Homo-oligomer: A and B are copies of this chain.
């Protein structure tokens, strides 16, 4: 099972006009995210499920993936909001794995959360030492989640600069 994390694209700054949860992608953020999605398309990737943080910039990022036919309509996963619960994210994955051990799952969210989740999966603790840029991508090969100490492996950490 492959788990991907995509950080939302560049969004407008947090000002009095925009509540943090309602900051949209900038035109550049939309463009860059679309380029990343097109690249994933060319790699013949298709996700068996896309889950997104409910914040607008993440939803818009996830919708771009779906619009590029990389998966069906994204689901909300409140745990993907900033400061969300890693355990809830893990619980979702645990329900998917027995049904489809080869599933490719996409989580769209925020930093430092996605980096912390990735480190926790792979090394059991987070030191916030993964640099995940906007519209950057993490790929994790998931081990057997039903085991007490499953072995997950990092196979991808990349930013648009290196991907496009």
Contacts and interface: CB of A to CB of B under 8 A. Distances in A.
Interface of A: 43, 119, 122-123, 125, 127, 129-131, 141, 151-159, 161-163
Nearest to A128: B153
A130 B158 contact: no
A155 B159 contact: yes
Nearest to A40: B162
Contacts of A156: 157-159, 162
Q: Which 6 A-B pairs have the closest CB atoms?
A: A131-B155, A157-B157, A129-B153, A122-B129, A123-B123, A158-B158
Given A131-B141, A151-B129, A158 B161 contact: no
What copy number does this chain have within its complex?
A: 2
| Max chain B Cβ within 10 angstroms of own Cβ: one of A125, A151, A155, A161 | A155
Contacts of A155: 131, 157, 159
Contacts of A153: 129-131
A58 B131 CA distance: 28
Nearest to A124: B127
Contact of A127 (B123, B129, B131, B141): B123
Nearest to A121: B129
19 contacts: A43-B161, A43-B162, A123-B123, A123-B127, A123-B129, A129-B151, A129-B152, A129-B154, A130-B153, A131-B153, A131-B154, A131-B155, A154-B157, A155-B159, A156-B162, A157-B157, A157-B158, A158-B158, A158-B163
